[in-house]
Amino acid sequence: MGTRWIHLMIQRKWWVVIAWAMIVLGTLPLAIRVTHHLSSSGFDNPNSPAVWATKQLNHLRPPKSPSPILISQISTKAIRQLGVKVHIPASDFHPMKSDQTVFLPSSGVTLQQSQALTGTLQKHHATVASIGQIAIGKKVANDSSKTLGTSGILAMPFLAALLLLVFGSLAAISLPLLVALVGSEVALAVVTIIETHITLSVFLTDIVSFLALGVGIDYALFISTRFRQNIARGDTVDAAVADSMTHAGRSVFYSGVAVALAVAALTLGGNAYWRGLALGGAIAVLSVLLATHSLLPALMSILGRKTLWGRIFKARDLGFWKAIGGWVSHRPYSALLVGVVLLVPLATLGPRIHMATPANLATMLPQKDPLRQAVSLQQKVQGAGSIAPIAVVMKLPTPVTNAATWSEVAAVTKHLSNLRGVQKVSSPTAIGLTPQQLATAIQHPTLLRPPLSNALRNFMNISYDPHLVVVFVTARDGPDQPQTATLAKTIDARLAGWLPHGSRAAAGGLVPMLQSFNHLTSARLPFIMVGVGTVAFVVLAMATGSLLQALLGVLLDALVALATAGFLYLIVQTGHLGFPATTPDSSITPLIFVLLFGLSMDYEVILLHRIQEPLHSGLPIKDAVRSGVSSTGAMITGAGMIMVIVFISLLVSPLAVMKTLALGLTFAVLVDTWIVRSLMVPSITVLLNRWAYWPWGDHNRRDHSESPNTRTN
């Protein structure tokens, strides 16, 4: 942090506060509207055939047909009686255990009958909800948005209580909370502006707000703690502000840059979804960094010695971290062994984790959610693959008014029907007309009479391209089963051989699209992690002047990442501690490892800087480590617990994907602060001795393994 900038913030403190007040008031309306333009789409591989096929589907105007619905607040018997009045068979209504009913329209039910039923049900005060995948996707987006407010309300009192427990005064806890809230609000406002121009995910609000809140409190906590220590030793207010920004502010600056760049590495994910998360996360951290390096020093300068205002009790130092510092510095092998024993077994399970975003969006909802239960009932009645059929999109050299087109479609339909794992194929050629009759009927639709005209209308889509034909394949297995994934791959692989030269064809829809997204994420994750690791190495090397500490930091982060993956494998993937077994979502889980590398830099830089300060004055490595752990242990673990409270509050979300994020980040931060930064980094630093900060500093080339003080201990 530049000295000139620090003095400017001190000298112009009231102008800085006024400017921030105007920024907050001006951007508040934008922050409130942050969820208005967020998207539940973007999960694709831009270069996959599935994207082309799905884009063609989006240009179609399919004839409206009755869709399955969930009916509540009226008995199944009454529903069936109402259904008879509009000529819908009673067998189309299926009761659920939760006193709700699912309407699954049979092939003979028309749209007019379905609409008449809906109107009648609403007149009888029944609640009607669609159970299609689009409707479920909207519910997922809505539940994600609700989490933002609920978890924020839940987290705030716990954060305030923890800060009060540590500092014992209302003024002391107000600074971190205020700075974090300001940074979070500005970040959400910026996201609101950006989301109207690019695709941003519905999960972004939770990630941005809680990342900004967590790191904002951490950063302000590190700096304000140093400020109060300076005030306590008798420094003037301006000198205390300048010193805290010069030292703790410098560490926070490096940490913030590390987190922002680490999150920005998500752009290597290769699609709009990951680019959106990268942009939103980086904005969150940079907003907080701006607040901590402008608003915070101005507020500290204004408050001065009044930071103890509202003191309820005096926080006591019980000597715990002084004892830990002494133990780690004198028993480094024992401290290192504790970390290895706790982390390595979990790390060996890490490679077993399997991540995938589900095509059956209902599985993202809680198991007791009525929509999820309705979808399960639909699969039981109509077939597991009925909820997400595979769309086979064909662009042929001849138009649909040519009989040759329908001969080719009939051949493809036959090939598809013979594939293993296919329940049925819905094709215009299956209604009983010859290719020539189909071509004629499309040119002259009035020539056909019911029921053939109705059947053809149900199968045909009004297309912008007369050369485009779509056939739907229903798999025997569910959309997320390996057999269905294999079927989609087989269809894509064989289509070219089934069609004439000049054709283009591919499988589209939810299953192929999310399959391509999962493959893309799996392929790009190593590049993302290499990018994050490189960022961590460079930032640590710049912050400490030590290539060796930078390398060790990256390796220890990798160990924590593997241990976290092993933890998620045990708890989420196999199902323990009350969590149902589910596949970790590939749209969120990689974010845990990225944030881990970024957030760990906070604690690493703070710790290594505090160890370096005694080394600058010539103390031996053991004394420097003991001093560093003693002075930062409570602050680092306290900051970690603040992050834990923020992340645990996400467990109130009904979505499994947000629970996974909460569990993974909570475990990662706890392990990182209490084991890696408190035990492993200090013990390794002691063991490396004069090489601990290689190649930083001339004094490292001298052996300070012992001092007169340490010899007498």
Name the DSSP letter for residue 396: -
| pLDDT, tens digit, 9 for 90 and up, residues 589-604 | 888 888 888 778 778 8
Range among 81-95, 164-178, 305-319 rated most confident? 81-95
Q: In whole angstroms, what is the distance from residue 472 CA to residue 389 CA?
A: 6
- The amino acid at 65: S
Nearest of 639, 669, 650, 651 to residue 564 by alpha carbon: 669
* Tokens 């050629």, residue located: 429
- Whole-number pLDDT of residue 705: 39
Whether 1 has a pLDDT exceeding 50, the answer reads yes
Lowest model confidence (mean pLDDT) among 455-464, 537-546, 592-601: 455-464
Closest CA to 713 of 638, 643, 626, 641: 626
Helix (H) or strand (E) holding 77: helix 76-85
Residue 713 has what pLDDT?
Answer: 33
Q: What is the pLDDT of residues 215-235, one digit of tens each?
A: 888 888 888 888 888 888 888
Question: pLDDT tens digits, residue range 12-71?
Answer: 889 999 999 999 999 888 887 766 555 555 677 888 899 899 888 877 766 667 889 999
**What is the Cα–Cα distance from 282 to 187, expressed in whole angstroms?**
9
CA distance 565 to 525: 13
Average confidence (pLDDT) over 254-271: 86
Residue 651's CB: how many other CB atoms inside 10 A? 15
User: Between the CA of residue 377 and those of 75, 104, 131, what are the distances in Å?
Assistant: 17, 10, 11
The answer to whether residue 145 scores a pLDDT higher than 80 is no
Cβ within 8 Å of residue 28, ≥6 positions away: 185, 189
The string of DSSP letters for 110-142 reads -HHHHHHHHHHHHHTT-EEEE-SHHHHHHHHHH
Residues 327-350: pLDDT tens digits? 999 999 999 999 999 999 999 999
Evaluate if residue 453 carries a pLDDT over 60. no
The answer to whether 318 and 30 have CB atoms below 8 angstroms apart is: no
pLDDT at 62: 63
* The pLDDT value given to residue 148: 58
Position 459 scores a pLDDT of: 55
The span from the CA of 432 to the CA of 453, in Å, is 11
CA distance 462 to 440: 16
pLDDT score of 701 more than 60:
no
Parallel/antiparallel/unpaired status of strands 93-95 and 504-508: unpaired
Q: What pLDDT digit, counting tens, does each position of 362-391 carry? A: 888 888 889 899 999 999 999 999 999 999
Placement of tokens 């590939």 in the chain? 586
pLDDT for position 706: 39
CB 79 within 8 A of CB 100: no
Q: In the chain, what is the greatest distance between 2 CA atoms, to the nearest angstrom?
A: 106
Count CB neighbours of 686 within 10 A.
25
Instruction: Output the pLDDT for position 640.
Output: 84
Rounded to an integer, what is the distance from CA 505 to the centroid of its chain?
A: 33
397-401 contacts at long range (C-beta below 8 A, 24 or more positions apart): 397/467, 397/500, 397/501, 397/502, 397/503, 398/467, 399/466, 399/467, 400/439, 400/442, 400/466, 400/467, 400/468, 400/469, 401/439, 401/442, 401/443, 401/466
CA trace torsion 164, 167, 173, 176 (10° rounding): -130
C-alpha 127: how far from its chain's center? 32
Q: How many helices (H) and strands (E) does the chain have?
A: 25, 8
Query: Higher model confidence: residue 213 or residue 285?
Result: 285
* pLDDT tens per residue across span 631-672: 888 888 888 888 888 788 878 777 788 888 889 999 999 999
Amino acid at 399: P
Taking residues 536-549, report their average pLDDT.
Answer: 88
pTM above 0.85? no
Return the pLDDT at 225.
Answer: 81
Q: What is the pLDDT of residues 95-107, one digit of tens each?
A: 998 789 999 998 7
Judge whether residue 696 has pLDDT over 70. Answer: no
| Residue whose tokens read 């996400």 | 650
Q: How far is CA 367 from the centre of its chain?
A: 21
Counting other chains too, the contacts that 330-336 makes at CB distance below 8 Å and 24 or more residues apart are: 330/622, 330/713, 332/682, 332/683, 332/684, 332/686, 332/687, 333/683, 333/687, 335/679, 335/680, 335/682, 335/683, 336/679, 336/680, 336/683, 336/684, 336/687
CA distance 520 to 272: 12
According to the model, what pLDDT value does residue 672 have?
Answer: 93
Whether the pLDDT of residue 138 is over 90: the answer is no
Q: How crowded is residue 246: how many other Cβ atoms within 10 Å of its Cβ?
A: 14
Higher pLDDT, 177 or 351: 351
User: For residue 703, what pLDDT band results from cuts at 50, 70 and 90?
Assistant: very low
What is the chain's mean pLDDT, rounded?
Answer: 84
User: Residue 342's CB: how many other CB atoms inside 10 A?
Assistant: 17
Q: Are 288 and 183 in contact (CB under 8 A)?
A: yes
- Distance from the first to the final alpha carbon of the chain: 39
CA atoms 54, 68, 588, 196: torsion sign: positive
What's residue 573's pLDDT?
Answer: 92
Which range, 199-213, 316-330, 407-421, is most confident? Answer: 407-421
Distance CA 11, CA 5 (A): 10
Q: In this structure, what token pair is assigned to residue 530?
A: 């290499």
Q: Is 96 helix (H, G, I), strand (E, B) or coil?
A: coil
Task: Give the model's confidence band at 495: pLDDT under 50 very low, under 70 low, under 90 confident, else very high.
Answer: very high
pLDDT score, position 708:
38
Q: Which of 69-78, 247-256, 257-266, 315-324 has the lowest mean pLDDT?
A: 315-324
